[in-house]
Structure 1
Amino acid sequence: MTSDTTDRSDTFDIGGELTVNRLGFGAMRITGEDIIGRPDDEDEAKAVLQRAVELGVDFVDTADSYGPGVSERLIGEALGDPDDVVVASKAGLLRNREGDWLPHGDPDFLKNQVLCSLDRLGTDTIDLYQYHRPDPDTDFEASVHAFAEMKDAGQIAHVGLSNVTVEQLETATEIVDVATVQNRYNVGHRDDEDVLRACERSGVGFIPWGPMYTVDEEGVAEALGEVAGRRDATPRQVALAWLLEHSDVTLPIPGTSSVEHLESNVAAAELSLTDEDVRALNDVDPQA
């Protein structure tokens, strides 16, 4: 006989003050193909955003590079500047027509980008603004100082990091309070387990991007499928539920351009895994 796992916390306080439901929405997929340009149906993209809020999602994550600019604009038009929804964005990546993601951490560029983000989102202050990826050609501390200055200027309420190491997190926290870290992490990819544990020790939110990137991979798919069969759920729902069970600081942000997929993803927040389920997923070998 199996028992339910210890009750998890269903909310998290970003920066110690912005309380959000832990299953959010990632707004990367509401743009065009290869995350470039407008979506085929902007009304449908806005409907996805509005439906997410109707379902209780109160944490929406985007970036200036999604489109670029398209995702932020659609959020601003569909949601406005709501008091009951935390909107997070990012800066630090350039795009080109080939769809490349090019790190660009020049402080002046970052300060310019926050002005663009503020305008597109239709707000005076962005709830959470994240450094999208460290730039090997720019001093990391100089880039973080730019975010600290944006915060001091009232342009952003909280600072986040993305795609960083434990050492970079520690360096950044000497400059500014870091509210969140967003790194790639899922059942089948746990290279940044040390970063997650560092976030736990510091009370920093951990946003696992690509939460379902490995659901179809050999080994991962079998384990998810077995648990899904026992829980009358989909493997993707189980992957999200595992992230919520794995740590109280995780803030999964599954993204989609479909209302149907959105509703299925949000339902994962209500899925309870047993100790047996969690052990089976914990035992998945990410290196297999």
Structure 2
Amino acid sequence: MAAGTPSSDTTATGAPRPGGPGAFAGRTVSRVGYGAMQISRLTEDRAGAIALLRRAVELGVDHVDTAEFYGFGFVNEVLRDGLRPDDDVLVVSKVGATPNPGGRLPLRTAQKPEELRASVEDNLRSLGMDQVPVVNLRRTDHGPGVKAEGDQVVDLDDQLATMIALRDEGKIGAIGLSSVSLDVLRRSLPAGIVCVQNAYSLVAREDEEMLALCEKEGIAWVPYFPLGGAFPTMPKVTDEPAVVAAAESLGCTPAQVGLAWLLRHSRNTHLIAGTADAGHLEANIAAGRIELDDATVAALDAVPSRSAQVPLG
């Protein structure tokens, strides 16, 4: 990778790095991070939410993915109260959508430049930060989820100009992308993209060419829906016979096999599997220690890839 091979095997707190060290936005972080979206399920148990976050840090997580629209700001507030400066956790948020309380879906697109700027300000406020280390521009070009319509279809160049201005002002540290096509990534490279978040898993590998470009450019690849199955029509990694067989052979769960395959498939992959359960958190982090032999990898690689293009109409 362009940023070089990270060498630190422990986090700032002294914990071993689950999944080993990886390069991300000029830093070294654990390749198994934590997607904080599921913390929104703990809105009635703030102390439990903070305890779960602290447990993730104890287990070696130093990369947390969030958004202002997760729990209508609750998740960001938990991160603000639960993370400590000496944890040295890389917080990655996103803009391009905002909370939609009372709506059919809990979020709505917010793609206009002024909305992107407002969302960054909202993140700064709820996270209690002077600068959000990484902010992903969440577009709707690719993958499952809501699609931009009408005046929410905004030119990429206008959006990138706003993101670059926010970086120049010091309000964000670096720019990432989410739910984007290969063409959008290529057009965005001059802006200095540090990560890409797209729906990707063993059973939905449409983005192999994009992953290869990220490897070439030293861009962290951060798959969301890493086990598929987020919507009823999406295939599930854990339903695949090859995955089940590998889990039985290794003495682990099918979900852990799916996560371990992602780490093995590309060295610049960073996981952000999320959960609101401490036991599941520990299992996800333990997936970073699973070794897949060549025969197992070959069997998993032979699993057919299907589409992750699932609209939320």
TM-score, reference length from structure 2: 0.82
Query: Does residue 123 of the first structure (1) align with residue 129 of the second (2)?
Result: yes
Corresponding residue number in structure 2 for 1:157: 173
Corresponding residue number in structure 1 for 2:206: 191
Corresponding residue number in structure 2 for 1:201: 216
After TM superposition, give the deviation of residue 84 of structure 1 in Å.
Answer: 1.6
Match of 1:91 among 83, 95, 114: 95
Q: Flag structure 1 segments of 5+ consecutive residues without an equivalent.
A: 1-8, 33-37
Pair 1:253–1:220, CA change in 2 (3 A): same
Corresponding residue number in structure 2 for 1:62: 66
Q: Report how many aligned residue pairs link the two structures.
A: 273
> After TM superposition, what 4+ stretches of structure 1 lie above 3 angstroms from structure 2?
80-83, 214-220
Match of 2:292 among 268, 273, 283: 273
Q: Secondary structure at the match of 1:208?
A: coil
Match of 1:21 among 24, 27, 30: 30
Corresponding residue number in structure 1 for 2:116: 110
Pair 1:197–1:220, CA change in 2 (3 A): farther
Residues in 2 aligned to 1:279 and 1:140: alpha-carbon distance in whole angstroms: 39
Match of 1:233 among 245, 252, 258: 252
1:118 touches 1:124 (CA, 8 Å); kept in 2? yes
Pair 1:219–1:110, CA change in 2 (3 A): closer
Q: Secondary structure at the match of 2:38?
A: coil
Q: 1:139 is matched by which residue type in structure 2? A: D
Residues in 2 aligned to 1:109 and 1:13: alpha-carbon distance in whole angstroms: 30
Match of 1:142 among 151, 154, 158: 158
After TM superposition, give the deviation of residue 164 of structure 1 in Å.
Answer: 0.6
After superposing the two structures, state which structure 1 stretch, 213-222 or 229-238, moved more: 213-222
Q: 2:21 is matched by which residue type in structure 1? A: T
Q: What is the CA deviation profile of residues 57-116 of structure 1, one whole-angstrom value per residue up to 9, with x for unaligned ones?
A: 110001122122121111111114455210100011133222254322111111111111
Q: Percent identity?
A: 35
Pair 1:262–1:218, CA change in 2 (3 A): closer
Q: Secondary structure at the match of 2:177?
A: strand
Residues in 2 aligned to 1:206 and 1:250: alpha-carbon distance in whole angstroms: 5
Q: What is the CA deviation profile of residues 174-225 of structure 1, one whole-angstrom value per residue up to 9, with x for unaligned ones?
A: 2x10000000001111122221111111110010001122497488431111
Q: 1:27 is matched by which residue type in structure 2? A: A
After TM superposition, give the deviation of residue 132 of structure 1 in Å.
Answer: 1.5
Q: What is the CA deviation profile of residues 250-270 of structure 1, one whole-angstrom value per residue up to 9, with x for unaligned ones?
A: 111100001111011100111
Residues in 1 aligned to 2:282 and 2:163: alpha-carbon distance in whole angstroms: 34
Corresponding residue number in structure 1 for 2:268: 249
1:180 touches 1:206 (CA, 8 Å); kept in 2? yes
After superposing the two structures, state which structure 1 stretch, 193-202 or 100-109, moved more: 100-109
Q: Secondary structure at the match of 2:258?
A: helix
After TM superposition, give the deviation of residue 151 of structure 1 in Å.
Answer: 0.6
Residues in 2 aligned to 1:214 and 1:229: alpha-carbon distance in whole angstroms: 21
Residues in 2 aligned to 1:218 and 1:57: alpha-carbon distance in whole angstroms: 24
After superposing the two structures, state which structure 1 stretch, 93-102 or 63-72, moved more: 93-102
2:175 touches 2:195 (CA, 8 Å); kept in 1? yes
After TM superposition, give the deviation of residue 28 of structure 1 in Å.
Answer: 0.6
Pair 1:260–1:219, CA change in 2 (3 A): closer
